[in-house]
């Protein structure tokens, strides 16, 4: 009888442990704030565009996109770490 009770109690604890772990793993992520661009300018001497922005809350990275004039879709240029608040993007002229 004690073995059966011990086995049932162990099973209940395992089920409770799994429920707690699944809740912890599936917790909702915090939504990042809105990014404000401070400046963007081209430096044709070195073929670069310099972009600066204000940091936002809960960001894990910043992703920069561009869209050609007349195009429908945006294209990803690069991702940078959330500790940065500026970058230079090298381009080449045709």
- pLDDT tens digits, 40-74: 888 888 888 899 999 989 889 999 888 888 999 99
pLDDT bracket for residue 90 (50, 70, 90): confident
Query: Buried b / exposed e across 67-77, counting CB within 10 Å, b at 16+?
Result: eeeeeeeeeee
- The domain locations on the chain are 36-90
Two tokens at 44?
């044709």
- As to burial, measured by CB atoms within 10 angstroms (0-12 exposed, 13-18 middle, 19+ buried), residue 52 is middle
Answer yes or no: are the C-beta atoms of 46 and 89 closer than 8 Å: no
């Amino acid at each position: 009888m004690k073995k059966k009770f011990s086995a049932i109690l162990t099973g209940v604890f395992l089920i409770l442990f799994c429920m707690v772990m699944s809740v912890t793993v599936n917790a909702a992520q915090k939504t990042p704030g809105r990014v404000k661009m401070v400046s963007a300018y081209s430096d044709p001497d070195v073929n670069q565009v310099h972009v600066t922005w204000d940091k936002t809350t809960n960001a894990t990275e910043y992703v920069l996109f561009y869209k050609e004039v007349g195009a429908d879709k945006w294209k990803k240029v690069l991702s940078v770490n959330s500790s940065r608040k500026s970058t230079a993007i090298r381009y080449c002229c045709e």
